[in-house]
Structure 1
Amino acid sequence: MSDLRPRVQTLAQLIPPLTYDLHKGDCGRVAAIGGCEEYTGAPYFVASSALRLGNDIAYVVCEKDAATVIKSYSPDLIVNPYLRSVDNQGDRSLDEIEKKINPLLDKLHAVAAGSGLGNDTNIHESVRRAIKAARERSLPIVLDADALALVTKSPDIISGYQNAVLTPNPPEFARLSKALGVSTAGKELPVDEAAQIVAQKLGGVTIVRKGKKDIITNGQRVFVCDEAGGLRRCGGQGDLLTGATLTFLAWGEKYKQGMWKPQSSSEPIKHSLIPMHAAYAACMLARHASFLAYEECGRATTSTNVLEQIDIAFDNKFEEILKAVKPSKT
């Protein structure tokens, strides 16, 4: 296994330096597509972690029965109740939903889908269309949780799109591997090898196989993140990872455009490798935030505690590289 860890100085190239020349949206506009009546916390964690890390604007696109609840969690999120379950489909057709979502995609630098979607077939179809529309716009995409079920059922939804990151946990990865025929008779493949093959079969998408160590691969290269994390496995931490990945992918789009001069003197990141570096940076921060939360709260740790540490984790890892802009004395 190629146990490669990118230098923090290299990852820091993706981070926009804060200056007085920036305008709202220059540090990223992102959206989390997810959230149904039963699962309202997941998209909140995705979008909120993006904001805590430094994205300027975060949207949530959710089922209408989830919208009021998610709005009550935070006034910082822009909540769009566009999705409709089978029970609610009467007041808005799939075509109407698509016409609502597509103009939003035009504003974004990256999009995540899957957190808190549930299993409703109507919602899944809207998300499938949104993924297709995001691909047409060359938007970076993070797929997690219930969106991975869409890929397992129809791999072509994301196959060949190298600006995508998939973040399966072990059971989700096992289902995806089986659907792609990644197995050997009576013999289990090493996880890094299996992840590489899955990425290859999906045409070079980036796979983040979460676990004791996070295996990050595009089928050609492998990064391994073994940053120390907390000992709690409470629900929602994967959503924080999705939000962190979303953040760095959005910054990666701005990096491609040359919107800032990196503060690190490291070798520039190849554009094709931005999803790999974004995913590694996200894994490093999510795991460190989990460690910090567990150090403070122990067994009582929840994902809300981890969210509260995500910006501190960012400072711990990047503070020595990124220096804050000082106000002019003149």
Structure 2
Amino acid sequence: MLIAGQRDMQQMDQYTMETIGLPGVVLMENAGAKVVEEILNVSACKQPKVIVLAGGGNNGGDGFVIARRLCDAGITALLCLVVDPERLKEDAKVHFQVYTNRKLPVFYLHEQSLSELQSHLNEADIIVDALLGTGVNGPLREPFRQVISLVNEQAGKKEVVSVDIPSGLNSDTGKVEGAAVQASKTISFVFPKKGFFLQDGPTYIGEWKAVDISVPPSAAKTLGLSLPKLITEAFVKASIPLRPPNGHKGTFGHVLVVGGSRQYVGAPVFSAASALHSGTGLVTLAVPESIYSMMAAQHPEVLFLPLPEKDGHFAEQAISELVPRLHEFDSIAVGPGMSRFPDGEKWMKEWMASLHGQPVVIDADGLYLIRNQLDLVRQYEGNVIFTPHPGEMASLLNMSVKEVEADRMGIAHRFAQEHQLYLLLKGHRSIIATPNGEIYVNPHGNSALGKGGSGDVLTGLIASFLAQGAPPLDALVSASYLHARAGEERAKVASHYGVMPFDIIDGIRGVFREYERGL
């Protein structure tokens, strides 16, 4: 499934009306009909009372159709027009005239009071938000801000259904400036919107569903639109490496994890354990020699490569011991727990110059140590994967976290293309960018993953799939999705507060069990 921005949808709508020849009033009728269908399907009440809040644009026009069709279905529905009807234009005006010609009930806010509207909202079982749609850009004007405030007083008490996008949420950036409707469900037309997955968006949209209104999805390709793609379960199932019945440990690859320091012992262990529990045949941990014995005693399933150290970090001499072994490994993960040390940048550059073409995942302080020599990664022709969280991304670009979060898709897209690498920009909704300019969005994840060690688990999962033969994109897509799903599932048992890294690993195994029959 594709993800669209405001301008993308405007172009697709225009193409449908002008080239295909389907009038805007028909698209509006189709949109309203689909929303009514969803309302009737999900309502817990057999005879709910519904109030439809409508603005003056096309979103309001959808609302006029929704209110009329609800009345025709025998539902008690009230249309609340938030703007003066004299301001209505074009297709929205046509549908409002149809509604009023039917003598159906209308509440005119410009003639009545907010307290009267509040009474109607209190009496309703379902509130339909058809106030502003995708056209929001900047702070809200009145009376929309006040109306949205009244709607949000009902959030959690009753169903709030937003039409196309919660009013007040920017469809391109996911930013809310001042106020936005807190929807329990969002019915989006054709494609979900970019703002669903950025900044404030995930906390406002509730459950969402994209519905067909006769704007063909193929119009995106016809118009040459380069749209982000949503990672779906079907996509993930097709991306997970297959396990031949006659496979053995050699079949499933050998992962090298380079990391650890005196201060950070757990991080590389989480990566190694994640790789093993997700199917790789062998994992070797290259760690400073002082922490080797403690780790080896607790994790006999892992192979170890203890390396010379200085002050609790890898020493320069470690390179001469590491480089002759690099050819043994099918994928390499570097950075978990490695920490920062004086010769770290030189250390990274020297051993990476001796790689044998296998894919490399760079995470954590590995990203910090490579930040001043990004030209180094271009020579590996798309075999390098960066997995920064927003703070690490900000460090790579010498900007603030706020700046990164304000343009997650754009920054990921430009960085991956400029440096010809794969980028997984972690966050509440993680973004994957490819060297050839594609963007993928993970729709899953929650606060249970917001804990030290969670990212190390993800790093090991990616490296595992790479070692098992998955191309970088497939490894990123499947690992990101499974990691997020595992966090969600384990939170149901351990709470959002209590999920630990090994819980996520266990959750990943649980998701695998769900999928195994279909793989």
Q: TM-score band (shorter)?
A: 0.7 to 0.9
Q: Which amino acid aligns with 1:163?
A: N
Cα gap change, 1:210 to 1:13, in 2 (>3 Å)? closer
Contact between 1:229 and 1:289, CA under 8 Å: does it hold in 2?
A: no
In structure 2, the partner of 1:116 is 337
Q: Which amino acid aligns with 1:227?
A: H
1:28 lines up with 2:253 in the alignment: yes
1:155 lines up with 2:374 in the alignment: yes
1:5 lines up with 2:222 in the alignment: no
Contact between 2:258 and 2:285, CA under 8 Å: does it hold in 1?
A: yes
Q: CA deviation at 1:157?
A: 2.8
**Normalising to structure 2: TM-score of the pair?**
0.52
Contact between 1:218 and 1:276, CA under 8 Å: does it hold in 2?
A: yes
In structure 2, the partner of 1:200 is 417
Please state whether the residue corresponding to 1:121 is helix, strand or coil: coil
Q: Which amino acid aligns with 1:275?
A: P
Cα gap change, 1:187 to 1:121, in 2 (>3 Å)? closer
1:288 lines up with 2:485 in the alignment: yes
One of 367, 391, 410 as aligned partner of 1:171: 391
1:126 lines up with 2:352 in the alignment: no
Q: Which amino acid aligns with 2:349?
A: R
Q: Which amino acid aligns with 2:229?
A: L
In structure 2, the partner of 1:19 is 245
Q: Using CA pairs under 8 Å that are at least 6 residues apart, name the structure with larger relative contact order, 1 or 2.
A: 1
Work out the number of aligned pairs and report it. Answer: 289
Please state whether the residue corresponding to 1:176 is helix, strand or coil: helix
Contact between 2:335 and 2:365, CA under 8 Å: does it hold in 1?
A: yes
- RMSD, aligned α-carbons: 2.5
Q: How does 1:25-104 map onto structure 2 within 5 Å?
A: 25-86=250-311, 94=316, 96-104=317-325
Q: Identify the range of structure 1 (117-126 vs 222-231) with the bigger mean alpha-carbon deviation.
A: 117-126
One of 456, 460, 464 as aligned partner of 1:247: 464
Task: Provide structure 2 residue ranges, at least 5 long, that are not aligned to the other structure.
Answer: 1-193, 195-226
Counterparts of 2:339 and 2:467 in 1: how far apart (Å)? Answer: 26
Cα gap change, 1:88 to 1:61, in 2 (>3 Å)? closer
Q: Which amino acid aligns with 1:284?
A: Y
Counterparts of 1:198 and 1:228 in 2: how far apart (Å)? Answer: 23
Please state whether the residue corresponding to 2:510 is helix, strand or coil: helix
Counterparts of 2:350 and 2:511 in 1: how far apart (Å)? Answer: 35
In structure 2, the partner of 1:212 is 428
Cα gap change, 1:188 to 1:296, in 2 (>3 Å)? closer
Cα gap change, 1:190 to 1:122, in 2 (>3 Å)? closer
Please state whether the residue corresponding to 1:223 is helix, strand or coil: strand
Q: CA deviation at 1:62?
A: 0.8
Counterparts of 1:73 and 1:167 in 2: how far apart (Å)? Answer: 27
**Normalising to structure 1: TM-score of the pair?**
0.80
Contact between 1:86 and 1:122, CA under 8 Å: does it hold in 2?
A: no
1:93-126, Cα deviation, whole Å (9 max, x unpaired):
73x4223212321111100000000112345543
In structure 2, the partner of 1:276 is 473
Counterparts of 1:320 and 1:209 in 2: how far apart (Å)? Answer: 31
Contact between 1:110 and 1:246, CA under 8 Å: does it hold in 2?
A: yes
In structure 1, the partner of 2:510 is 312
Cα gap change, 1:160 to 1:54, in 2 (>3 Å)? same
Cα gap change, 1:111 to 1:187, in 2 (>3 Å)? closer
Q: CA deviation at 1:18?
A: 3.5
In structure 2, the partner of 1:226 is 443
Counterparts of 2:374 and 2:509 in 1: how far apart (Å)? Answer: 35
Identity of aligned residues (%): 24
Cα gap change, 1:85 to 1:231, in 2 (>3 Å)? same
Q: Which amino acid aligns with 1:143?
A: I
Counterparts of 2:428 and 2:512 in 1: how far apart (Å)? Answer: 21
One of 357, 362, 369 as aligned partner of 1:143: 362
Counterparts of 1:205 and 1:122 in 2: how far apart (Å)? Answer: 24
Please state whether the residue corresponding to 1:153 is helix, strand or coil: coil
Cα gap change, 1:291 to 1:83, in 2 (>3 Å)? farther
1:60-91, Cα deviation, whole Å (9 max, x unpaired):
101112212221331111111114225788xx
Cα gap change, 1:216 to 1:241, in 2 (>3 Å)? same
- Structure whose alpha-carbon radius of gyration is higher: 2
One of 494, 498, 501 as aligned partner of 1:303: 501
Q: CA deviation at 1:24?
A: 2.5
Contact between 1:44 and 1:73, CA under 8 Å: does it hold in 2?
A: no
Counterparts of 1:207 and 1:65 in 2: how far apart (Å)? Answer: 33
1:149-204, Cα deviation, whole Å (9 max, x unpaired):
1221221232343111100001111111227xx99xx99852101111111221x2
Please state whether the residue corresponding to 2:354 is helix, strand or coil: helix
Counterparts of 1:143 and 1:16 in 2: how far apart (Å)? Answer: 25
Please state whether the residue corresponding to 2:423 is helix, strand or coil: strand
Counterparts of 1:27 and 1:13 in 2: how far apart (Å)? Answer: 15
Counterparts of 1:5 and 1:150 in 2: how far apart (Å)? Answer: 32
Cα gap change, 1:230 to 1:178, in 2 (>3 Å)? closer
